[in-house]
Chains A and B, each alone.
Chain A
Amino acid sequence: MKKHQLIAGAVGLALALSLSACGGGDKPSTSTGDKITVLLPAHEMDNIGFNEQATRDFTAETGIEVELIYMGWDNVADRVIADLTAGGGSYDVIEFDNAWVAKFYENDWLEPLDSYISEEMRSGLLQGLLETFSSDGKLYGIPWNNDTRFFMYNAAILQASGFSKPPETWEQLEEMSLKLKADGLPYGYMDAYPALQSGANEVTAMVYSFGGELFDADGQPVMGTDPKTKAAFEFMVKSLNDTKIADPASLTADYETVENVFISGDTAFFIQAWPGVFQSANDPTLSLIVDQIAVADVALHANGAEQVVLTLPEAMAIPKTSKNKAAAWQYIEYMSGRDLDKERALAIGSLPLWQDLYTDTDLTTKYPYWANFSGQIAHARALPSLTYYDEYANILMEEAHMMFAKTKTVEKGLADLQERCEALAGKYTN
């Protein structure tokens, strides 16, 4: 039953990420180049060098030499955008983040992939992911990382304080966290709110979970007038300063720190955990909470709001400036191919990119807890699609930090944020 729910969830994810569908086209003749350069961030779950090994296998099979450059996401972002803007042509395959779709499309930086992708691949990959990386009916990226987050918790800590099930609403989480703190736990949860795009991700997820909206359907900022967005920020401010159920170190924590604190048993809730957290938590060489982690059936939400989890998929794309497009496509096709996707999922526990792998018995046997994802994955939402997303994320975190520090009231902070976003939108429209 759970498996069916998971399929339904995957389909739900596709629907939730509702962008325009892609067109078809003839596949061009493939001629392998001698060497390609690939620039990607490391997969957050790949602790064993799976993708590096797969790249070496690709070279052995095809004879195409690959210079694989792995670095942190922010460094990749800086390099990719600098190179594309300068028309450098340094890379043949690049990271294509879900937050960049509008900007990259607007600047016409990427090669459309409709004439490259096979029908089998187009119909086999999760449709929601393909749609996320499409714009104006054209496909620009092939997903390589289905980075969807889930609400997880430490069942042993909850049980020790007399709770038999996890919270479903923020109000319940607050109540339970206060009890856990009274019983000696330092904090109920930690989140990542650094002055980076990861901070913007988490703040956005919080707003969504309160039923709030930062932008309307036309992309106009509405955060200053939306009462649910205000409620979300008030909850964050209260959790950090008043009830202190959130670790104040959230202000500077990155995702790795949030994970480390959780698997050290210093927090009970992991609000937006990626699937690999489950494995890390059960790895006795890394974790102090082996056999204590559990996946909630329902993601956190405010009373009367829909449950929401964040999806941050990443794709590979080919810049128009690449001189080895055919070889670049061969690499993408190999790395996101069904067989390798299954191998990767078996090796590191990453969520599959191919729909049918969610019912693959090898995978469901190895990862029975995936069944619990089904309740949450259908409620996955992506980040706002904005041409000026990078600039917006920076001012979002600046204003958010002022609200968190109570330098500004939530009302004033959101009003200022809206005003600055409107100015930005105006600048990009003119």
Chain B
Amino acid sequence: MGVRSAVEPPRSGQSAIAQWRRRHFPQLLISPSLLIILGVLIIPIIYSLVVSFAWLNPADRSLDFVGLDNYQAMLTDQSYRKSMALTVLFTVITVILEMTLGIAIAMVLNRPFKGRGFLRGLMILPWALPGVVNAILWKWIFNANYGPLNAALFQLGVIDQYKVWLGEPVSAFGAIVIASLWKETPYVILLTIAALATIPKDLYESAEIDGAGPWKAFWRITLPMIRPVVLVLLITKTIWTVQTYDLIYIMTAGGPQNATQFITLLVQRTAFKYQNFGTAAAMSYSVSMLCFFLTYLYIKVFMRGDDWSGKVKQSKGLRPKPVRR
């Protein structure tokens, strides 16, 4: 509707072709992009949905429909259940820590101090690094024989012998969380700083006059004002965290004891190593459903009373509240 309103209305006396062209000119302009999206996104999505109900023969790529067998196989597969549980655990821990750390650091970097610009630039560096480089870097840091972490802890007397950080399930999982935090938290910081810059200073001045301390000002002013950005961050970080692949592929390859075999790695292995494309497609759809569900949940919780057209209504949720003494 918005597109049509931007085009001039048909004038009397114009031919039907000219009128049609004038009316559909915007659609014509976007049709190449639509065709590309159709080719690289829509068709593969539909095809993978079809494959999830079939057995794809790797030899001749023929499809043999098997109904819900792939979904049944997926649900009874202990590797799938373990991978999904690990993925959810990793996502919950990582997103909570990223958001908490990211907002806290952004609050600090939002205050004026000497060297703030330099520090802000420095904070972005991990995020700017390619994922593969980040993974190799952290694999080296956690290396059992030559890693700087072992050397530092040993020198400080924290450990009495070098530890195989990536060789034990809990520490390997923790190492992946740390590597992910280091890479992804700067993105939260960046967007939060941008959101914080839009909050009028007089709100804080009024709050201070009313006797509110920093903690109260954060909960009553800052958080409600940056809420839309927090929501976008929660949604994108959740989806990206569920999709974590390069980090685990390089750092642990899913080990030890498959304690870091998250769902993306399992889907890749099921499809391209085990040639079980039907089950892999079913697993992919379960991941999509998980992302969809979490996104829906975030929107329901965080945007209670808000209008998605862009106008923010007065809500009973997290919105600027008067500060009481």
The answer to whether A261 touches B145, judged by C-beta atoms less than 8 angstroms apart, is yes
The answer to whether the Cβ of A29 comes within 8 Å of any Cβ in the partner chain is no
> B164's contact among A77, A82, A107, A249, by CB below 8 Å, is which?
A249
Q: Which of B146, B162, B268, B272 has its CB near the most chain A CB atoms (within 10 A)?
A: B272
Residues of A within 8 A of B258 (CB): 195, 394, 398
The answer to whether A82 touches B272, judged by C-beta atoms less than 8 angstroms apart, is yes
Chain B residue nearest to A394 in the complex (CB):
B269
Distance of A106 Cα from B60 Cα, bound (Å):
11
The answer to whether the Cβ of B228 comes within 8 Å of any Cβ in the partner chain is no
The answer to whether the Cβ of B148 comes within 8 Å of any Cβ in the partner chain is no
A residues 97-114 with Cβ under 8 Å of B?
Answer: 103, 106-109
The answer to whether A249 touches B273, judged by C-beta atoms less than 8 angstroms apart, is no
Distance of A243 Cα from B72 Cα, bound (Å):
45
Q: Count A-B contacts at CB 8 Å.
A: 88
Residues of A within 8 A of B61 (CB): 85-87
Distance of A401 Cα from B145 Cα, bound (Å):
19
The answer to whether A251 touches B145, judged by C-beta atoms less than 8 angstroms apart, is no
Distance of A253 Cα from B146 Cα, bound (Å):
11
Distance of A397 Cα from B164 Cα, bound (Å):
17
The answer to whether B145 touches A195, judged by C-beta atoms less than 8 angstroms apart, is no
- B interface residues, how many (CB within 8 angstroms): 27
Shortest C-beta distance, B81 to chain A (Å), equals 14
The answer to whether the Cβ of B113 comes within 8 Å of any Cβ in the partner chain is no
The answer to whether A249 touches B256, judged by C-beta atoms less than 8 angstroms apart, is no
Distance of A325 Cα from B61 Cα, bound (Å):
22
- A interface residues, how many (CB within 8 angstroms): 37
Residues of B within 8 A of A257 (CB): 143, 145
What 1/0 flags go to A384-426 for Cβ under 8 Å of B? 0000101100100110011001010000000000000000000
> A251's contact among B58, B143, B256, B272, by CB below 8 Å, is which?
B256
The answer to whether A252 touches B272, judged by C-beta atoms less than 8 angstroms apart, is no
Known: A107-B58, A109-B59, A248-B164. A391 touches B257 (CB 8 A): no
Chain B residue nearest to A257 in the complex (CB):
B145
The answer to whether A249 touches B168, judged by C-beta atoms less than 8 angstroms apart, is no
Residues of B within 8 A of A391 (CB): 269, 273-274
The answer to whether the Cβ of A196 comes within 8 Å of any Cβ in the partner chain is yes
The answer to whether B59 touches A196, judged by C-beta atoms less than 8 angstroms apart, is no
Known: A397-B255, A402-B257. A253 touches B272 (CB 8 A): no
Report 30 cross-chain contacts, Cβ distance below 8 Å, ordered by A residue. Answer: A77-B273, A82-B272, A103-B275, A106-B59, A107-B58, A107-B59, A108-B59, A195-B252, A195-B256, A248-B144, A248-B167, A249-B144, A249-B167, A251-B144, A251-B164, A251-B167, A252-B144, A252-B164, A252-B166, A252-B167, A252-B255, A252-B256, A390-B274, A391-B274, A394-B273, A398-B257, A401-B257, A405-B168, A405-B256, A405-B257
Q: Which 4 residue pairs are nearest across A and B when measured between Cβ atoms?
A: A195-B255, A251-B167, A249-B144, A390-B273
Which residues of A pack against B, CB within 8 Å? 74, 77-78, 81-82, 84-87, 103, 106-109, 194-196, 247-249, 251-253, 257, 260-261, 266, 388, 390-391, 394, 397-398, 401-402, 405, 407
